[in-house]
Amino acid sequence: MAHAEANVTASLAEGHAVPLHRLAHARAGDKGDRLNLALFAYDPCRYETLVAQVTEERVLALFAHRGASRVRRYLMPGLAGMNLVIDDVLQGGVNGALNLDGHGKTLSFLLLSMDVVVGKT
């Protein structure tokens, strides 16, 4: 396991754009029409890269087509992670949405599709 993960991060070249998925893992949770995305750097050395590039503005833009109205970011340096709280992104939430995933559980991987530049802070 550790070996596979080492290979994944070893192939990252500084200065190149990669999907966030290469640097971090995430989990989505929903309450009402509010989504939280907890995002953690695999390697704590990459945490500053996430802080610099996974901004409230960029996350709001990524989810704008879904009607997201606000993103609040809570930094958790002790966990090498952050909590991104997005309002009005669930199309009515689990009891209101017509989409295939009313909980928004899959949206952690939409976040992980965001491009980040390795090593740029």
Partner 1 sequence: MTFLLGSGAGFSGDRTDAAIPVVAELIRRGQPAALVFETLGERTLAAAHRALRDDPAAGYEPLLEELLAPVLDDCLTHGIAILGNFGAANPDGACRVVAELAAGTARGEASIGRVHGDDIRARLAELDLQRWEAESRELPGEEALISANVYLGAAPLVEALGLGAEVVVSGRVADPALFLAPLMHHFGWAWDDWDRLAAGMMAGHLGECGAQVTGGYFADPGFKEVPGLATVGYPIIEVEEDGRLVVTKPAGTGGMVTARTVKEQLLYEVHDPANYLTPDVVVDLSTVRVEELGPNRVAVSGIRGKPAPQRLKTTVCYEGGWQGEAEISYAGPNALARARLAAEVLRERLTFRAPPELRSRLDIVGHASVFDSDAGDLQRRLPASDSGDYRLRLAAEHAERRWVERATQELLALYCAGPAGGGGVRRQFQRRVCTASYLVKRSDVEAFATLFEASPVNQRRAAHGAR
Q: Which residues contact partner 1 by CB under 8 A?
A: 1, 4-5, 8, 21, 25-27, 29-34, 36, 38, 40, 42, 65-67, 72, 74, 76, 78-79, 81, 83, 85, 87, 91, 93-96, 98-101, 106-107, 110
Strands annotated E in the chain:
17-19, 24-31, 34-41, 70-76, 81-87, 115-117
**Distance, first Cα to last Cα, the chain:** 28
Residue 90: both structure tokens together: 């669930």
Give the residue with the Cβ less far from partner 1, 54 or 107: 107
- Sequence-distant (6+) residues with CB within 8 A of 100 are none
CB of 118 to partner 1, least distance (A): 16
CB of 93 to partner 1, least distance (A): 7
CB of 52 to partner 1, least distance (A): 20
